[in-house]
Structure 1
Amino acid sequence: MGEIELRAVEKWYGDVQVIKGIDLVVEDGEFVIFVGPSGCGKSTLLRMIAGLEETSRGQVIIDGRDATAEPPSKRGLAMVFQSYALYPHMSVAENMGFSLKTAGASKAEQDEKVAEAARALRLEDYLGRRPKDLSGGQRQRVAIGRSIVRDPTAFLFDEPLSNLDAALRVEMRYEIAKLHQQLKSSMVYVTHDQVEAMTLADRIVVLSAGLIEQVGTPKALYDTPDNLFVAQFIGSPKMNVIDLPCADLRLSGEPAGAAHLGIRPEAISIGDAGAGDVDGVVDVAEYLGADIFLIVDCGAAGKLTVRIDGESTLRPGDRVGLHFTPDKRHFFDASGHALR
């Protein structure tokens, strides 16, 4: 079992409230990711689950047990930090088995669990090496392996890939996804990178200023954001937003009370000027191989990002008409809430 429930949890530092009454259930075996901008409270919330931060108000329930007042060692959770925190004088095997050794496990049990974790993480060939002889990705796998051997109730990850370069982050995303499939354990993961969230999570929790903005599957958050914050935070490039009314738009069918129109870059098609919903001039063309991102200056509608096929011959200075796919338009009221 690995269910984690937060009941109206709050965190105060003196008179400053950083977590503002959060309710959330992480189901057994679920991969849940906390995302949000810097300072939104995502790492603080993870540390409250781990017991590394005191919960000012509310309850942390782990497998039906009130763990709010329990120390980290009693919660049955394993945490993987941003820093690898490996002992440089120990081998990979010794690092991975250290917690078992300190807990009094037999040498045979240590060896068995370390070997099992090494197989899951493809570290069998590195068990005799020291951390200085490993790549960044291998060191992070060792840090994860150190947690696996403890057979925890759930895994907590605090921005584990932020120290890695772009290629290693892609590799480690794959490793963590495969690990979740193999272990079928609950995982709660913090990142500021919404690409990590979209590719790994069963559900994403979008946080802002200590509050949950929306919880849902990656597809639900991308296709049906509840508000402007989520609409622009989830997705790369982010959703285009046009303030309404806009004199340069040839728009129809907007709902009553619409103050903003949102449209994702791939939901815009290119045509001749004078056709479609708005005209503009190509300002920048960013070639990415399979795709090109056009930045189109549309006057009062602003500069809109359009994703088009990489074979396009459009260039800066070309005048175009933009057509918004009708069922992909998002409307928001003046306070930023979605109109549906």
Structure 2
Amino acid sequence: MGAIELRNVEKWFSEVQVIKGVDLTIADGEFIIFVGPSGCGKSTLLRMIGGLEDVSRGQIIIDGMDATDQPPSKRGLAMVFQSYALYPHMTVRENMGFSLKTAGAPKDELDAKVMDAARGLKLEPLLERRPKELSGGQRQRVAIGRSIVRDPTAFLFDEPLSNLDASLRVDMRYEIAKLHQRLKSTMIYVTHDQVEAMTLADRIVVLDAGFIAQVGTPRELYERPANLFVATFIGSPKMNILPCTDGTGDFVLGSGDHSLGIRPEHIEVTEAGQGTCDGTVDIIEYLGADTFVIADCGALGKLTVRLRGEDVALGQTVGLSFPDAALHFFDPSGKAMRAG
């Protein structure tokens, strides 16, 4: 069992509070991802769960037991960092089995667990190599394999793919997704990469300056953001935000203390003068499968539009239409009022 509960958890460094009363329940077998901007507290919160940082206030409950004051070795958790931290003088086999060996596990049990983990991670041909003979992706798989053989209550991943190049990150995302499907273990994962969060998580925890801004499935966060912070943080390119009057009825753009949000893919390009507003094509970003246009809408600012086959030219003035069902409204405090 790998259920984890955080009860009003706080973290202070001297007079500075970095985690501000976090409450969170993680179900056994759930894949949870912490995201947020640099300095939001996501790695600190993960380290608190792992026992690498003390809890200033609150409780951490693991499998129904209060683990707040337990050392890392007593929590039954396995951590995987962006730094592989492999022993350079040991083979892959020895690195993966080291923790069991030091714990006094019988050799046949150690060998069986190492081989089982190696098969699952496609490391069997590499077992007799040393870390210097491996690629970055292979080293990270060894680090994950070392955690698997411990049969932990839960896995804690702290930006494990950030040191890899783009193609290797794609491969390792697949490996981690398959690993979760196979092991069905609880996994808590910290990343700054939205693609990792959206593709891997059962639920995403969005952190903002030590607070939880919203918890939900990737679809819930994308389609129903609870506030302006989540609306502009989740999604790439981010949601367009424009000032408007009260969004509970008819609204007027460009004035008022409320905000209107619309995703780039929901804006429809039409003839100038026939949309919700007009914009002049300022930049065209061709990305192969997608083309994004940044349109200068004068006092309304610049809007990003995802094209769906429309042909536009630099300097062209076009109409931009906002379908009612795609609109999000936020009150002056930034809280969502309603979403399409």
Q: TM-score range by the shorter chain?
A: over 0.9
- State the 1:325 CA deviation: 1.9
Letter in 2 for 1:275: Q
Distance 1:74 1:52 in 2: 12
Distance 2:138 2:48 in 1: 28
Are residues 1:283 and 2:320 paired?
no
Structure 2 residue runs of 5 or longer lacking an equivalent are none
Residue 258 of structure 1 contacts residue 331 of structure 1 at CA under 8 Å; is this kept in 2? no
- State the 1:253 CA deviation: 3.2
Q: Give the TM-score, by structure 2 length.
A: 0.96
Are residues 1:253 and 2:250 paired?
yes
Query: Secondary structure in 2 aligned to 1:276?
Result: coil
Distance 2:274 2:39 in 1: 44
What corresponds to 2:156 in structure 1? 156
1:1-340 aligned within 5 A = 1-245=1-245, 253-254=250-251, 259-309=258-308, 311-340=309-338
Residue 245 of structure 2 contacts residue 251 of structure 2 at CA under 8 Å; is this kept in 1? no
Distance 1:245 1:47 in 2: 43
CA offsets 1:235-259 (integer angstroms, 9 cap, x no match): 000001111259xxxxx7349x861
Identity over the aligned pairs, expressed in percent?
Answer: 72
CA offsets 1:59-88 (integer angstroms, 9 cap, x no match): 000000000110000000000011000011
Letter in 2 for 1:253: D
Residue 258 of structure 1 contacts residue 339 of structure 1 at CA under 8 Å; is this kept in 2? no
Distance 2:168 2:241 in 1: 33
Distance 1:121 1:283 in 2: 47
Residue 258 of structure 1 contacts residue 332 of structure 1 at CA under 8 Å; is this kept in 2? no
CA offsets 1:86-112 (integer angstroms, 9 cap, x no match): 011111111000001000011111110
Structure 1 residue runs of 5 or longer lacking an equivalent are 247-251
Distance 1:262 1:133 in 2: 50
Distance 1:325 1:181 in 2: 38
Distance 2:191 2:250 in 1: 38
Runs of 4+ in structure 1 off by over 6 angstroms are none
- State the 1:219 CA deviation: 0.2
Residue 265 of structure 1 contacts residue 305 of structure 1 at CA under 8 Å; is this kept in 2? yes
Residue 269 of structure 2 contacts residue 310 of structure 2 at CA under 8 Å; is this kept in 1? no
Residue 3 of structure 1 contacts residue 27 of structure 1 at CA under 8 Å; is this kept in 2? yes
Alignment RMSD: 1.4
Length, aligned pairs only = 333
Residue 12 of structure 1 contacts residue 56 of structure 1 at CA under 8 Å; is this kept in 2? yes
Distance 1:313 1:254 in 2: 30
- State the 1:312 CA deviation: 3.7
Query: Secondary structure in 1 aligned to 2:307?
Result: strand
Distance 1:199 1:301 in 2: 33
Query: Secondary structure in 2 aligned to 1:313?
Result: coil
